[in-house]
Amino acid sequence: MVRASVSGPDAAQPSSDGRSVLNGLLDKLERQPDRARRIQERLPEAFASAEARAACRAILEDAARAGAVELVTGRGETRHLVERVFLANPDALYLFLGRTPAAQLAAEAGATLRAQSSPSSPHAVQALEEIVRGWTEGRRPFGFGRDDVGRAARFIAVLDAVLKREPTDRSDMRTFSRLRTGNSKYVEELARPIADFMRWAALADQTLRDDDVLKSMGLEKFPQPVLLAGPIRVRDADFSGLVYGGAAPEDAANIVPVGPVRSVLTIENFASFNRHVREAKRPGDLVIYTGGFPSRTVIAALEAIASWNGGPFHHWGDIDRGGIGIALHLCRTLRVPVLPHLMDADTARRRGTLGSPIALGQADIPEAWASLADFLCGPECRFLEQEEIDPARPP
């Protein structure tokens, strides 16, 4: 048997086609299999023609004789017209329409997916089970419907490879994808469902965008160098006399001081980084450009600095959902306190643009960021791009 391709009629404009009416009954049943009230469909008051009305009634009467539905006619002058159709026997109606039950389709799709998948990482196994469970419940977990088994199987294989990636693997996204999945574009094509799963499984912050989730996992088209300014050396290169310099991803963990460091400041946006190192940086200040959401390479550099600096970092970024998301990610990742710099509710009230309150979706917000988080989640929420603020030296 094959499933009918039509869907249930719109409640406001019922279909005049009898098979659509009958399929609508089964659509409602599959959406709410545990509903207590009897399932019904109401016929339209008007048809395109008398022939269309007669054809619709003929199909409905055939279904009623098969024991699949119960027909209810009108009263008075409309007692000869069918007004409503009640579902009497779902099995009989499936047989009458030649339609396969959704539960059977879901079971078949789930069995096929299991046969085509062999994940070894626990979280990839969890993703597989959630997809199969979602199909039985009529959902599309991570964007995959039961009619997309092949792509879902590819997703499981790619996710498995991503989750098993070694932290020391510095290969770019396409090289990694080619080596681990056999296709250089599979990871990129499946970026959204990978990020959806990571957020669903609480392996990534709920507020992160798809590309930021992948960046946190070290998956970028090609890792960018880390831009730094201050009294540091990377291997044999002394940065202290430069406006700023770039450390290759391979050297991100090889940053050492060449003099006293009085402050460490991370900056989200490139324009603000450029202005700060030229206009506000003092001798002894160490400034790092995060490149928006910090990649694994940037985090490696910051962890190296934290290992020998020990003092608090300051962070300057946009006052919005993305900006505080970056700040909170730094707070959770680094082993030193991260304090806000030029990011506070008073500044946003004075210079920001009114916005809709955001939902941060986490309870472990450090005290230093609590007042800004409360402001962004409250009714007075305002957003502010950091480029609107002139650079200033951290304390």
Q: How far apart are CA 77 and CA 265, in angstroms?
A: 82
What stretch of H or E contains 40? Answer: strand 40-42
3-state DSSP helix/strand/coil % of the chain, to nearest 5? 45, 15, 40
**Pairing mode, strands 245-247 and 255-257:** unpaired
pLDDT of residue 200: 95
Predicted TM-score (pTM) of the model is 0.61
Q: How far apart are CA 379 and CA 358, in angstroms?
A: 10
pLDDT of residue 393: 94
- pLDDT, tens digit (0-9, with 9 covering 90-100), for 59-81: 999 999 999 999 988 777 777 78
Q: What fold does the segment set 226-388 form as a domain?
A: Dna Topoisomerase Vi A Subunit; Chain: A, domain 2 (3.40.1360)
**Pairing mode, strands 232-234 and 237-238:** antiparallel
pLDDT of residue 301: 95
Residues with Cβ within 8 Å of residue 36, at least 6 apart in sequence: none
Q: Structure tokens of 154?
A: 């590819």
> Domains of the chain: which residue ranges?
18-97, 102-216, 226-388
Q: How far apart are CA 150 and CA 231, in angstroms?
A: 53
Q: Which of 352, 300, 305, 350 is nearest to 324 (CA)?
A: 352
Q: What is the pLDDT along the chain (395 residues), one digit of tens a residue?
A: 333 333 333 333 344 588 889 988 988 888 887 788 899 888 877 788 888 888 888 999 999 999 999 998 877 777 778 888 999 999 999 899 999 898 889 999 999 999 999 999 999 999 999 999 999 888 999 999 999 999 999 999 999 999 999 877 878 889 999 999 999 999 999 999 999 999 999 998 887 889 889 988 888 877 789 999 999 999 999 999 999 999 998 899 899 999 999 999 999 999 999 999 999 999 999 999 999 999 888 999 999 999 999 889 999 999 999 999 999 999 999 989 999 999 999 999 999 999 999 988 656 889 999 999 999 999 999 999 999 999 999 98
Q: Structure tokens of 233?
A: 């050396």
